[in-house]
């Protein structure tokens, strides 16, 4: 396969993991995590700084990326879970923007708006193919881990919290603790996606923590289907592919995306995978009715 | 019968409006106590104070010898006080089975388990509760599509999953057909008898109240007017004036 397509596939996997991590809190938890990209950026910058500023081995930096992102998730989460819904989202957006500003202004450490480029990763990862296989393995393992979490008692309880937090309190569930744990887990995997991005691109820049990227991930979840596990991955695939193909022909590719979103809201409000799931369920019911 | 819950001079105000003004209530172990009163008397506020959804401005709530006035709702539930709400309060996007299972898992302390598969856990306990409440046949249905009556029963099933010693029911028959009301009344009686539950029942339907309650507390403008046996309360002059109306001999 040409290297360019391998690169696009790797980018879809990285972005898909980022979107799936958001969906743990958004689709399964009903938490309005408006600024999820900040954890992606923290994971990426942690790896970049570990290699370029501290001289740590790449694997240590790679392990530190998700852990530091999870710590940032815990810090922001502790403050935000005191609020609900839109207020939660607005506070999260503000705190995330604060981190973005720090990264942008702290030029001596983060490189400011130039970011950090030419990050030296191990030789095996310097070719796109090598990076692709590592990304495939890590994203695969992360998706399996997230799937186990979604199907666990914790995941089931998280969905109950999404549906009715008041009822959850009345059956003995500490709603805030549950939401906080979900945010930390989601931040961890977003941090892993950020570190993988560094493996692929060997650079970081402040826009990785900017709210526009958070909005883009949000759209990926909606497009793919935020009540399905694979929906965000599909949404990421569509947007990355669309951006790659459409931007060859026009600079205004976001107009095409906007048109698709409008059609989606009217004809597939459950997203691509949600619609597919409903279609399969409908066919199964029809087949069962035929046997009655 | 020994005392299980004691509410002493509890009060609660909202923006200067005193919804509950020094209310008192006692609930004996295994008894059914009805809280009645006209609209706006403070019944639901009182139930919210008992279950921790509101914090009292004054007074004490003591359950099994422990003061619970300052505890959060989930902490009160863990002390084995279950509740239902005035409007059906379920998990509409989950199946009937999952609705009850979530509560069972919480009661078993497994709701933070990240590694097991939820579908395989607490199946027997969940099924037993669904069978005892007559919902087993609809276990796989989405809770949100159940009839109003079944949703109210499901709420009771969810509350039972935490094995409460005291069950607080806020207007359990509101909006129900006469058939559903009769079935729910039978279920309440059955639960109290078979499980030895104490029940606090807030209800407008006096037929339901006087057919199940062993003790009736009348709340009027946030104050306890009287608490006693149903016949005593029915004959009480203040209660007749304030709520039930005069009984012609």
CA B216 – CA B231 distance, rounded (Å): 9
The per-residue pLDDT for A272 is: 86
CA-nearest residue to A160 within chain B is: B91
Q: Residue B157 is encoded by which pair of tokens?
A: 């099933």
Neighbouring residues of B81: CB distance < 8 A, sequence distance ≥ 6: B50, B51, B63, B68, B164, B165, B166, B167, B168
The per-residue pLDDT for B244 is: 66
Q: Does A288 touch chain B (CB under 8 A)?
A: no
Phi, psi of A252 (to 5 degrees): -95, 50
Q: Does B117 touch chain A (CB under 8 A)?
A: yes
CA B180 – CA B154 distance, rounded (Å): 13
Q: Which residues of chain A from 40 to 59 reach within 8 Å of chain B, CB to CB?
A: none
| Beta bridge partner(s), residue B61 | B7
Mean pLDDT over residues A206-231, rounded?
A: 92
Q: Residue A92 is encoded by which pair of tokens?
A: 């999260």
| Residue B242 Cα, gap to closest chain A Cα (Å) | 33
CA A117 – CA A129 distance, rounded (Å): 20
Full set of structural domains in chain B with CATH? 1-80+164-249 (3.40.50.300), 90-163 (no CATH)
| Residue B165 Cα, gap to closest chain A Cα (Å) | 13
Q: Residue A104 is encoded by which pair of tokens?
A: 């942008």
A51 neighbors A202 (Cβ within 8 angstroms) = no
Mean pLDDT over residues A43-49, rounded?
A: 96
| Residue A151 Cα, gap to closest chain B Cα (Å) | 6
The per-residue pLDDT for A84 is: 80
Q: How many CA atoms lie within 13 A of B132 on its CB side?
A: 20
Local structure of residue B248 (DSSP, 8 states): P
Query: Which residues of B fall within a CB distance of 8 Å from A164?
Result: 89-92
The per-residue pLDDT for A292 is: 52
CA A224 – CA A111 distance, rounded (Å): 35
CB-nearest to A154 from B53, B74, B111 is B111
CA A206 – CA A179 distance, rounded (Å): 27
CA-nearest residue to A146 within chain B is: B114
Query: Which residues of B fall within a CB distance of 8 Å from A168?
Result: 74, 102, 106
pLDDT tens per residue, range A135-189? 999 999 999 999 999 999 999 999 999 999 999 999 999 999 999 999 999 999 9
CB pairs A-B closer than 8 Å: 107
Mutate to test the interface with A, among B83, B112, B155 (most CBs of A within 10 A): B112
Q: Quick check: helix, strand or coil at residue B106?
A: helix
Q: Does B50 touch chain A (CB under 8 A)?
A: no
Q: Does B100 touch chain A (CB under 8 A)?
A: no
CB-nearest to A160 from B74, B78, B102 is B102
pLDDT tens per residue, range B140-174? 999 999 998 899 999 999 999 999 999 999 998 88
CB-nearest to B91 from A153, A167, A181 is A167
pLDDT tens per residue, range A95-143? 999 999 999 999 999 989 999 998 988 888 888 889 999 999 999 999 9
CA A212 – CA A196 distance, rounded (Å): 20
Residue located via tokens 């958070």: A214
- If residue B108 lies in a helix (H) or strand (E), which one and from where to where? none
Query: Which residues of A fall within a CB distance of 8 Å from B110?
Result: 153
| Residue A139 Cα, gap to closest chain B Cα (Å) | 19
Residue A204 has pLDDT above 80, yes or no: yes
CB contact under 8 A, A153 and B98: no
Q: Does A144 touch chain B (CB under 8 A)?
A: no
Sign of CA dihedral B64, B67, B71, B73: positive
pLDDT tens per residue, range B203-247? 888 888 988 999 999 998 899 988 999 888 888 888 887 776 654
The per-residue pLDDT for A290 is: 66
Mean pLDDT over residues A186-213, rounded?
A: 95
CA B237 – CA A111 distance, rounded (Å): 82
The per-residue pLDDT for B248 is: 47
Q: What is the DSSP string of B226-247?
A: EEE-HHHHHH-HHHIIIII-PP
CB contact under 8 A, B78 and A172: yes
Mean residue pLDDT of chain A comes to 91
Q: How many CA atoms lie within 13 A of A64 on its CB side?
A: 15
Query: Which residues of B fall within a CB distance of 8 Å from A162?
Result: 93
| Residue B110 Cα, gap to closest chain A Cα (Å) | 7
What percent of chain B has pLDDT above 70? Answer: 97
Q: What is the CA radius of gyration of chain B?
A: 18
Q: Does A260 touch chain B (CB under 8 A)?
A: no
CB contact under 8 A, B85 and A170: yes
């Amino acid at each position: 396969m040409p290297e360019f397509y391998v690169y696009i596939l790797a980018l879809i996997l990285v972005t898909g993991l980022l979107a799936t991590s958001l969906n743990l809190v958004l689709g399964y938890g009903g938490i309005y995590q408006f600024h999820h990209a900040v954890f992606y950026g923290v994971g990426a910058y942690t790896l970049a700084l570990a290699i370029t500023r501290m001289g740590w081995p790449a694997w240590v930096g790679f392990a530190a990326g998700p852990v530091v992102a999870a710590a940032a998730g815990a810090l922001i989460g502790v403050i935000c879970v005191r609020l609900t819904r839109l207020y939660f989202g607005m506070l999260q957006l503000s705190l995330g923007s604060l981190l973005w500003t720090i990264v942008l202004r702290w030029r001596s450490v983060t490189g400011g708006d130039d970011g950090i480029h030419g990050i030296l990763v191990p030789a095996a990862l310097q070719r796109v193919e090598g990076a692709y296989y590592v990304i495939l393995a890590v994203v695969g393992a992360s998706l399996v881990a997230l799937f186990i979490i979604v199907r666990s008692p914790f995941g089931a309880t998280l969905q109950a919290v999404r549906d009715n937090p008041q009822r959850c309190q009345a059956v003995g569930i500490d709603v805030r603790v549950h939401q906080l744990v979900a945010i930390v887990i989601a931040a961890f995997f977003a941090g892993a996606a950020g570190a993988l991005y560094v493996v692929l691109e060997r650079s970081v820049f402040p826009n990785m923590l900017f709210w526009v990227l958070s909005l883009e991930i949000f759209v990926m979840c909606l497009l793919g289907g935020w009540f399905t596990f694979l929906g965000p991955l599909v949404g990421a695939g569509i947007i990355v592919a669309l951006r790659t193909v459409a931007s060859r022909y026009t600079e205004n590719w976001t107009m095409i995306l906007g048109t698709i979103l409008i059609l989606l809201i009217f004809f597939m409000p459950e997203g691509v995978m949600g619609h597919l799931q409903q279609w399969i369920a409908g066919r199964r019911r029809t087949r069962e009715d035929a046997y009655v | 019968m020994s005392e299980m819950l004691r509410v002493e001079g509890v009060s609660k105000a909202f923006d200067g409006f005193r919804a509950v003004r020094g209310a008192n209530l006692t609930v004996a172990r295994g008894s059914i106590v009805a809280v009645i009163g006209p609209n706006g008397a403070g019944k639901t506020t009182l139930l919210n104070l008992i279950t921790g959804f509101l914090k009292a401005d004054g007074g004490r709530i003591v359950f099994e010898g422990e003061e619970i006035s300052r505890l959060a709702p989930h902490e009160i539930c863990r002390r084995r006080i279950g509740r239902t709400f005035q409007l059906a309060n379920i998990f509409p996007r989950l199946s009937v089975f999952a609705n009850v299972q979530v509560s069972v898992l919480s009661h078993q302390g497994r709701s933070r388990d990240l590694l097991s598969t939820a579908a395989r856990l607490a199946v027997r306990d969940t099924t037993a509760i669904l069978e005892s409440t007559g919902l087993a046949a609809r276990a796989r249905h989405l809770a949100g599509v159940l009839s109003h009556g079944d949703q109210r029963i499901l709420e009771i099933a969810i509350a039972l999953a935490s094995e409460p010693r005291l069950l607080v029911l806020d207007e359990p028959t509101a909006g129900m057909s006469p058939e559903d009301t009769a079935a729910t009344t039978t279920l309440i009686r059955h639960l109290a008898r078979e499980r030895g539950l104490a029940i606090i029942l807030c209800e407008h339907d006096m037929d339901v109240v006087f057919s199940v309650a062993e003790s009736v507390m009348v709340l009027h403008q946030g104050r306890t007017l009287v608490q006693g046996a149903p016949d005593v309360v029915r004959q009480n002059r203040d209660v007749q004036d304030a709520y039930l109306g005069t009984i012609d001999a």
